[in-house]
Structure 1
Amino acid sequence: MRIAAQARTEGFAKMRVTVPDAVPQIAARLAQFVDAGRHGQMGWMAERMHWRGDPAALWPEARSVIMLAELYTPRHDPMAVVGQPDRGAISVYAQGRDYHDIVKARLKRLGRWIVAEYGCEIKVFVDTAPVMEKPLAQAAGLGWQGKHTNLLARDLGSWFFLGAIFTTLPLPSDAPEAQHCGACRACLDACPTGAFPAPFQLDARRCISYLTIEHRGPVDLGLRARMGNRIYGCDDCLAVCPWNKFAREAAEMRYIRAEGTEPPLLAELAQLDDAAFRARFSGSPVKRIGRDRFVRNVLYAIGNSGLPALREVAAGLLDDPDPAVADAARWAVGRLA
């Protein structure tokens, strides 16, 4: 297909096609997830369930959905930082430039080419719209949702972003992908907080990615110690997947942590004010959670470090204007006392 060739020219690793109504089961699955309260504070999931549960309703004129994979495979061991208690673990996808900007620009270039070649209409989506990208990607044959609910593929591993192009152009659909997890439990057993009630199910309220990024206010006391030094996201369930032995190297260098750089020191991050936080994480996905939530996470990591030298760093934030930061500082000081 000419579109697939152009997608590769634009830098995408893989492309597959499905139809907007290929996943009628997702509405019921989403309703069960929300009814159980497993979405936590992500109210936008409940507010836009009609569109999220029915991709065909998002744009009724669309006839095809083009799903694309964008690699961000790390060149270092993503779990190595977990053994460095004085440093903060930031999820691999957020160690470089914001993928929303890069993938969306790439999708728009591909979309403009499709419009020029075929005279159709398109809409592009990257993560922020009410689109269930992972079920659509599985229906398109791009990969399958593993037991950790993330998408993985036999030829890509775990480390890739998803982009979607809805179009009025009727295209032949690819065959859906079956799941190939077998009896493996590596991702389920690796989760530090037990966020998987059962295979293929996630309770976001216990997920470190949710807790460090989406959750506002203090984190439950029973979960803080399990967060370790993870201060933005968590890669554990992705990193242990055996299918990563087939992962391909990322071509986009803007996602990759600069060669020779070390993960950031907790002592430095804890002292960031709002202006310094914005400057340090300009152009990074980290910026969107704001200084207060980020420093709260840093203080949990300091409390988990077991390093008495960091106690004074935490003590310096006992009177922070943000209540969650001050609470995290008290907790960290108490842990290191």
Structure 2
Amino acid sequence: MRIIATIKDVAKLAGVSVATVSRVLNKEANVLPQTKLRVQDAIAKLHYSPNLLGRNLRQGATKKILVLLNTISNPFYSQVVRGIEECAAKEHYSVMLCMTHGDPVLEQQSITLLQTKLVDGAVFLSAEQEGTALTEACRGIPVVQACEPRDGFLAASVSIDNKKAAYDAISYLIQNGHKQIAFFGASDTLSSSICRKDGYLQALSDYELTPNPDWIIEEGFSINAGVRAAKRLISCKELPDAVFCISDSCAIGAIRTLVEAGISVPGDISVMGFDNAEISKAFLPAVTTVQQPRYEIGYKAASLLLDAMRGEENRAVKITLPHEIIERNSVEKHT
């Protein structure tokens, strides 16, 4: 049976105090280089592994942060989570993902992890409860919002200006000769859904174009949602010359369905997406889209959370990062 080495064993073999071994493990600077080498050599010879749970309990920290999101099936979140993980790793924090699946009860169960100190803080990529309820549930707990800030939730947030991004997308379509533009959106439960629809309507109004209510179809963000929306559009008496989709996944489902129905994209109908997810580059035709700086959103949100966990009061901070139109092949230019 293997005997598990303790920190006292390491100290004895290295000829130093337990406190010195602790300083080496914690990567503190006040250790002589030759002493550090002796401790590291002793750790290697004894195959010593520190008891992180015990150390974290003594320090009053778990070194874990929680990331709450609706689902991992949406490819949009991959780079956001990567940004969170890489920022957190620099401070030796690990990341736990919790899916709420749109269920406020599951979200509240995850918040219990915060209330019972099983994690040190959380990043909400989406929120299911009302903002005031979340503020009360997270009182005194370090939390940050990213991507989908919830009105009334008193927590720092990082996102883009979704209304302006949608406005710029519609302006881009109009400036390239498209006047009859449909909108494939989602329900009004998410702030981004509401803002992107508002940007679509505002741009049409500013360019003195009248939206066709039959072309405003709200099925959701997914590929299947794009399929459903396109099928509803095809059944309309008249077809638009362009479609603005609330996400790249929705755009891809729409393109596939239109092409299968014998409608050329972009020859007959141009299609524009949103997010600049990896799939938008690989699809044929490659999707013209609005880029969100997904990695930067995640990284900045984690940075704000780490600040909050160090005691910095930043709940009033609202960071808006820039968006960009990415031109590819799914939009026909008529000008």
Q: TM-score category by the smaller chain? A: under 0.3
Structure with the higher strand share, 1 or 2: 2
Highest CA radius of gyration, 1 or 2? 2
Q: 1 or 2 for the larger relative contact order (CA 8 Å, sep ≥6)?
A: 1
